[in-house]
Amino acid sequence: MENASKFRPNPKLKLMDQVREVLRYHHYAYRTEQTYCQWILRYIHHYGGKTHPAQLGAEDVERFLSCLATEGEVSASTQRQAMNALVFLYREVLDKPLENKIAPIRSKRRKSPPVVLTMSEVQNLLAALEGRYTLLAKVLYGGGLRLMECIYSILYFHTIIIL
């Protein structure tokens, strides 16, 4: 019953156009579309660029994802993103689901301590700055802001002051 209502891409289109058509039909975000297409192209190029993914199978997907983890040293979230793109390709575009058939070598999550400056390091940094950059750095540090939050605040308040 589910297959009867499933969206089928136009078979006359090229593979990547079919992928885009299905992604747009399901209202995926534009950035998701770009990312999925990039991972699918990397997968195709990993196998020489001449082999259609329909001719490849779950073992090839598993090998590609394992290669990302071992040779590419990508993070776990990046590997998961690539896997989601390929699962989408096979399930929604090629109609060859492979959900439970792949078990790649997983990327290890790296623990990294947070980078925090000591009070003396902050004082040295602020003392080394000159002009308006000093004000920007003091606002960032004192308010606990990220860079873009500070820039937005400065632009917003600058507009109010001009008005």
Q: How confident is the model at residue 158 (pLDDT cuts 50, 70, 90)?
A: low
- Ordered by start, the domain boundaries in the chain are 15-101, 119-162
**Position 162 pLDDT exceeds 50:** no
Mean pLDDT of 103-132: 77
Residue 3 clears pLDDT 70, i.e. is over it: no
- Judged against a pLDDT cut of 60, whether residue 4 lies above it is answered with no
Q: Summarize pLDDT for 9-60 with one digit per residue, the tens.
A: 888 889 899 999 999 999 999 999 999 999 999 999 998 888 889 888 888 8
Report the distance separating Cα 133 and Cα 141, nearest Å.
12
- Cβ within 8 Å of residue 64, ≥6 positions away: 43, 46, 47, 82, 86, 104
Per-residue pLDDT, averaged over 113-130, amounts to 83
State the pLDDT confidence band at 159, using cuts at 50, 70 and 90: low
Q: What's phi and psi for 14, nearest 5 deg?
A: -70, 160
Domain 15-101: state its class: mainly alpha
Model confidence over 75-111: pLDDT tens digits?
888 888 998 999 999 988 988 887 677 766 666 666 6
Q: Which residues of 105-139 are buried (b: 16+ CB within 10 A; e: fewer)?
A: eebeeeeeeeeeeeeeeeeeeeeeeeeeeeebbee
